[in-house]
Structure 1
Amino acid sequence: MKRLQQMSARTTVLSAASAGRASAFGRRAYQGRPQMLSADDAVKVIKTGDRVFVHSVAAAPQALIHAMTRRAPELRDVEVCHMHIEGDASYADKKYEGSFKNNNFFVGKNVRKGVQEGASITRPEIPLLFRRGILPLDVALITVSPPDQHGFCSLGTSVDASLAAVQCAKTVIAQVNPHMPRTHGDGFVHESAISFMVDGPAPLIEHKRGKVTETIGKIGKYVLVLLMKWRCMIMCMMMHDDEVALALAAATPMVATNVAQLVEDGATLQMGIGVIPDAVLAELTHHKKLGIHTEMFSDGIIDLVERGVITGENKVIAPRTITVGFCLGTKRLYDFVHENPAVQFRAIEWVNNPILIKENPKMTAINSAVEVDLSGQICADSIGSKLYSGVGGQMDFMRGAALSHGGKPIIALPSTTSRGESKIVPRLKRGAGVVTTRAHVHWVVTEWGAVNLFGKPVKERMKALISIAHPLHRPWLEKEVERGFWFDVDENSPKIPESAHVDEWMAAMASAAAAEPRWRVKW
């Protein structure tokens, strides 16, 4: 009886999670084939004061964005909503601030300088803003694959919250791009749900992976050893930028190795984009029966699929398929997902639902952070009060993995920034946002090791986190703990004064070491 009740509850959850998915024809009455227009003519429908949604990541409709931006002199207070987008986002330029205002659910590099507003919201809740009329949409600008013989287009590489935008916007303008992969899952949109189509063939924007050759890797590790031996920040002052970059790059495979050791055979993985996730995937070539249920992925999974490492056979939710909301990578990735039924692109409110995520056994969520304080609080979206990225789906997957049988929520990060400052800090910077609370943090991994904070009291957490901080910073962190750092503010990690002469800085360090024996670093 108990088992039947559990199955009934799970069926209810699945039904609720699927309730917001698109019908094949959207929410509009059938209106026939959409009118074909030029980009400039199509965006004339945008009026002063409208709210416009822009398709996400590599699916950003560049022709429509350019055409909308060209109308800046005619428009005032057009609110542009989007998650992270790739490519041109010139409407976010300060010179257009009277014409366009930005509501960024996730801040990318191309809009970071021009950010005026940033909605601090998790990705699964973004569709609710549209569906509940909290952010009613006037226009949605999207990219789709050409319609098939039945009139169906595909949202391609980004289904995420874009599906809800298509369903809810009063007017949908689609850039039809034959380079857009036709992907399986929730992303099929019938042409009757589109108001205007624009012919816009263009290669998708690619996100190239940083490649570290064996030689460069060896050099980087050698430089890192030198930095450790001669006190990292003093050496950095005497090195060229490319040498420092090599040393910092060497930390990434060390972090990845430590993370990979936590991944069990049969696990289901969630990971983000960047050098650490790709490096982790590269370490998993000898694992077996892995699955993927993730908000996004990049090229790193392809090799594991081809090697037979990723099979999805142990997944409970969508077994034997790769579940994803959007992808970003190279043409190789876009070719891989094109017409591939093994890769299912789902609406973000379904992909990121912790109730569904937890159903996969050994769910292993691998996320990163800007900084971690000694109580375990995770800042992942800002540098102090400056919004740097966004909340994304970190909370959802951290929670889902924690509730999964044998699951592991993991925060992975290098121990220092590119300037040599510690990423493990006594307290977060003033104004920093907490994305994952200390109550929800389990594993934290750096190049110096991995610690599990779950169930540990604050003092044990502090000791554990200090043990995986960079050795140079451990005495400072210990000193802060001793003097009760939680009562103080505005204390910073030691760093190199930009104007300091090498000899002056070395003399200052020697003086500090003589005055305070705890500052001596033993290597």
Structure 2
Amino acid sequence: MTDWKNQFAEKIISLESAVGKIESGDKIWAGGLLSMPVIFLQELDKHLNQFQGCELYTGLMTYPYEFLKPQYKENFKHISLFMGPLERKCQHGGNIEVMNFHFSNFKQTFAKLQPNTVIIEVTPPNADGYVSLGACGGVGSKEALKYAEKVLFVVNDQQPFIGNKDNLIHIDYADFIIEGHHSVATPKAGESSELEQQIAEHVSPYIKDGMTVQIGIGTISNAMGMALRDRKDLGIHTEMFTESLMEMCKAGAVSGKLKNYKPNKIITAFAAGPQEVMDFLHNNDAIEMGGMADVVDAYEVAKNDNFVSINTCVMVDVVGQVASEGVGFSQISGSGGQLDFVRAAGMSKGGVSILALSSTRDGKEGLESNIRIALPTGTPITTPRNDTQVVVTEYGAADLRGLTTPQRVKTLINIAHPEFRDELLEQATKLGLAK
């Protein structure tokens, strides 16, 4: 056995012993999404009352852990760096506090948090003793390791081995190792609705052969990825690699050869999808998994000419202020990298930012417009109006670039649901926003 193999064997402990390494007052980074050490956290759930004053940092939960219940706040205060469906269920009354920040600030955020304990899933080591951080390696783990006093690797042979330098770490970094093998695949994306396909059709003309694309999270984004399968020589520089992006690659739409920045590479910070996506990522030299702050750095991304950012939102007001992470005082997700990519597209030569949404929603009193005269009180603005370029609904695309305020207002009203257009124009005129 080589030295690293001896080290590996010596560091292996039982699951129960691993939980015993946690101490009251620890500040623990436990990864995000598919990097979260599921088996460890499930065991931790059985011992929560043994600890006091711990803080647990995660993002995008995939399992309804016991520590999410309010009675464990004093044991393990849970802080989420990005909300998903499980976090939303717990935000009112559960054990969760949300930290809102742009993903370009990941390094500064961890410098403030300074977790003393890191527990993350990794792959089995390669021949040189390096493990891969897997499908979600860019979500904070290397930043957290800078401050860690205790490091536990949970080896999972179902994590895809993504072997670029930024996604590798030697087993020297681990103080303890446990093995916990389980699937990290998430459910296959459902079929896009007719409305989502209509939105994708309005976005599609903005994406030409050879452009570099970023596509965000959501069902509209999935439809968008599917609509681009007939393009040629696209590049990918994205926050999250998804099933629809994989389908673009398999359809021959992606080569990356025309990218100015890191040509021929698919740049991403994390990935999720069914097993087919995990298999696509595994040992794929075209994939470069980078740290989140670096991947969403607008100045780096904008080195690509013709960069197009495609993201979804939930509401827009008539001057172009965009809400993507919540409505009123109810939070839905987080800022993520949306504004970083919007600004990257704005700085890119030939670039464009596109924000897509359905024109309506089902409200308490029936159908409501998602294009509003003003956003509801308390609504966080994800993309300011001065950064908003193109907004798309199923009724068309509103290109706001170079328009005055009255022109912006009328252009946005033109893509609202027809039932609300007259009312919106009347309100805007009374307020002096339209002429």
Which band: TM-score by shorter chain?
over 0.9
Match of 1:273 in 2: 217
What one-letter code is carried by the residue in structure 1 that aligns with 2:333? Answer: S
Match of 1:62 in 2: 38
1:104 lines up with 2:80 in the alignment: yes
Match of 1:5 in 2: none
Corresponding residue SS for 1:435:
coil
Structure 2 CA distance for aligned equivalents of residues 32 and 476 of structure 1? 70
Structure 1 CA distance for aligned equivalents of residues 321 and 154 of structure 2? 42
* Residues 70-219 of structure 1: pairs in structure 2 closer than 5 A: 70-115=46-91, 116-130=96-110, 132=111, 134-160=112-138, 161-185=140-164, 186-212=166-192
Match of 2:3 in 1: none
What one-letter code is carried by the residue in structure 1 that aligns with 2:420? Answer: H
* 1:168 Cα offset (Å): 2.6
Structure 2 CA distance for aligned equivalents of residues 83 and 145 of structure 1? 20
* Residues 417-496 of structure 1: pairs in structure 2 closer than 5 A: 417-419=361-363, 420-484=367-431
What one-letter code is carried by the residue in structure 2 that aligns with 1:380? Answer: S
| Contact 1:157/1:181 (<8 A) preserved | yes
Structure 1 CA distance for aligned equivalents of residues 89 and 183 of structure 2? 26
Structure 1 CA distance for aligned equivalents of residues 106 and 414 of structure 2? 38
Structure 2 unaligned residues grouped into runs of 5+: 1-5
What one-letter code is carried by the residue in structure 1 that aligns with 2:327? Answer: I
Corresponding residue SS for 1:395:
helix
What one-letter code is carried by the residue in structure 1 that aligns with 2:134? Answer: G
1:355 lines up with 2:333 in the alignment: no
Question: Aligned to 1:391, which of 319, 330, 335?
Answer: 335
Over the aligned positions, Cα root-mean-square deviation in angstroms equals 1.7
1:453-510 C-alpha deviation (Å, 9 max, x unpaired): 1232221111111000111111221222133288xxxxxxxxxxxxxxxxxxxxxxxx
Q: In the comparison of the two structures, how many residue pairs are matched? A: 418
Larger strand proportion of the pair: 2
CA 195–465 in structure 1, closer or farther in 2 if over 3 Å, else same: same
TM-score (norm 2): 0.92
1:419-444 C-alpha deviation (Å, 9 max, x unpaired): 43211111111111111110111000
1:379 lines up with 2:323 in the alignment: yes
Match of 2:197 in 1: 253
1:109-143 C-alpha deviation (Å, 9 max, x unpaired): 1122323421110112122222x3x1111211100
CA 480–284 in structure 1, closer or farther in 2 if over 3 Å, else same: same
| Contact 2:217/2:312 (<8 A) preserved | no
Match of 2:16 in 1: 40
* Residues 329-368 of structure 1: pairs in structure 2 closer than 5 A: 329-368=273-312
Pick the structure with greater CA Rg. Answer: 1
Structure 2 CA distance for aligned equivalents of residues 108 and 100 of structure 1? 19
Deviates more, 1:143-152 or 1:398-407: 143-152
1:261-309 C-alpha deviation (Å, 9 max, x unpaired): 1111111000112211111111112211100000112111223222221
Structure 2 CA distance for aligned equivalents of residues 121 and 413 of structure 1? 22
Structure 1 unaligned residues grouped into runs of 5+: 1-30, 213-248, 487-523
Identical positions, percent? 30
* 1:415 Cα offset (Å): 0.7
